Amino acid sequence: MARSYGMFRAKCGHEGCNEFARYEADTRKHYLDLSLRYGNGKWRCVRHSQPDEVLSSTNTQIVNELRVIVDDGHSFWGKERASSGFKHGPGFKAFAEDFPEGTVLRITAEIVPAPSRNALDKERGE
C-alpha cells in the first residue's frame, strides 16, 4: 500500500486570520505543487475567499437559487449550467428529475438572534 509523502499545512493569508488547511500529499511533487499553489499566504479560508457566503451578525440571511437544467436528456440542478441531479441539506432532499425544466429550488439560510437577557427577564416578570 502506498504511503503518504507528508502533510502540507497552509495558513490563511489574510492579515490576522489564524485559520489553516491541511492537505495530504501523495508524493514529493504533489507536496511541492501544494506549496506553490497555497504557500506563502496564497491560501484563503472561506471567511476570506467567499465572504458574501458567510453568515454573520451583519449578513444574517443568504438565499441561493438553483434551476432544473436539462442537459443531454438528463435533469440537473444548477445556476447557469448543469451541476448535480441531487441536492440536499438540513431537512430537504431534491432530485432534479422529479421536476420540469426551469423549476427553481430556493434555499434560505437565516440567523435568528437569541433573545437578549433583559428581554427574557421582562418576560418572566423579573
Residues 51-110: tens digit of each pLDDT? 999 999 999 999 999 999 999 999 999 998 889 999 999 999 999 999 999 999 999 999
The reported pLDDT for the residue numbered 115 is 85
Q: Is residue 37 left, alpha or beta, with left meaning phi > 0 and alpha meaning psi from -120 to 50? A: alpha
The reported pLDDT for the residue numbered 26 is 94
Q: Which residues, 6 or more positions from 40, have their beta carbon under 8 angstroms from its beta carbon?
A: 13
The reported pLDDT for the residue numbered 4 is 72
- What would the grid cell of residue 96 be? 432534479
The reported pLDDT for the residue numbered 116 is 81
44 pLDDT above the threshold of 90: yes
The reported pLDDT for the residue numbered 2 is 59
Domain residue spans in the chain? 6-49, 55-110
